């Protein structure tokens, strides 16, 4: 029984050590600075006002993000359809060429070479189209993410003019935090109301 108690004690000590290391040796500099500032503020008798927003939850539930995602999906489907149609046409032509070549359907070898070269050029065009469409989709995705982030940060700056938080963090970086400091629901509601108003104008 005494051995079991010692093992539990050691496991508890290791768990506390791991939490301590995670808490104080993370790579997120703003969080570490906030911890230092909070300790300094406590020592001086003042206190910091800190809040956090779960950005991943905002992205999942923000109407703007959903609309941008729907538009992106439509463009992606259109691009896939355009690429797929051209690819299918090429594959049919390539199969017809192969069949004609095998049965000796070309009048001259020169004519067969011309048709082969045309198909090679067409395949290169299709590969280039695939690359161009993938690049366009990536650019749209990056622009969408920037628009959502800009909208969130713009609102938070406006929101904080009255609330006077010293720090508002992305909750994805916070392992433990008071629910009272979780601003996600309030911010999300306001963002959706603002976006809805913009859509009506």
Q: Which domain holds residue 88?
A: 49-200
Average per-residue pLDDT for the chain: 81
pLDDT greater than 50 at residue 19: no
Q: What is the pTM of this model?
A: 0.67
126 occurs within a structural domain: yes
For the chain, what is the domain count?
Answer: 1
23 occurs within a structural domain: no
43 occurs within a structural domain: no
Strand partners, 165: none
pLDDT tens, position by position, 72-119: 999 999 999 999 999 999 999 999 999 988 888 888 899 999 999 999
122 occurs within a structural domain: yes
33 occurs within a structural domain: no
pLDDT greater than 50 at residue 22: no
185 occurs within a structural domain: yes
DSSP state letter for 201 = -
Instruction: Spell 11-20 as b/e; 16+ CB within 10 A means b.
Output: eeeeeeeeee
* Choice among 23-27, 62-66, 186-190, 197-201 with the minimum mean pLDDT: 23-27
Our CA dihedral for 100, 103, 107, 110, rounded to 10 degrees, sits at 70
Which two tokens mark 46? 């003042």
pLDDT tens, position by position, 117-154: 999 999 999 999 999 999 999 999 999 999 999 999 99
111 occurs within a structural domain: yes
CATH classification of the domain holding 162: 3.30.910.20
Q: Which residue has the tokens 């690359």?
A: 131
107 occurs within a structural domain: yes
């Amino acid at each position: 029984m005494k051995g079991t108690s010692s093992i539990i004690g050691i496991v508890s000590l290791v768990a506390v050590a791991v939490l301590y290391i995670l808490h104080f040796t993370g790579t997120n500099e703003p969080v570490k600075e906030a911890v230092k500032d909070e300790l300094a503020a406590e020592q001086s008798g003042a206190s910091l006002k800190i809040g956090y927003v779960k950005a991943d939850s905002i992205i999942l539930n923000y109407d703007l993000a959903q609309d941008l995602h729907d538009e992106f999906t439509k463009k992606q489907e259109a691009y896939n359809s355009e690429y797929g149609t051209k690819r299918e046409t090429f594959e049919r032509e390539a199969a017809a060429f192969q069949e004609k070549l095998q049965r000796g359907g070309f009048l001259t070898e020169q004519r067969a070479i011309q048709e082969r070269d045309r198909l090679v050029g067409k395949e290169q065009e299709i590969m280039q189209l695939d690359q161009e469409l993938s690049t366009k989709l990536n650019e749209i995705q990056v622009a969408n993410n920037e628009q959502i982030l800009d909208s969130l940060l713009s609102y938070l700056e406006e929101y904080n003019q009255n609330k006077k938080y010293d720090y508002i963090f992305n909750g994805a970086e916070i392992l433990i935090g008071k629910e009272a400091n979780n601003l996600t629901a309030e911010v999300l509601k306001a963002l959706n109301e603002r976006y809805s108003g913009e859509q009506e104008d």
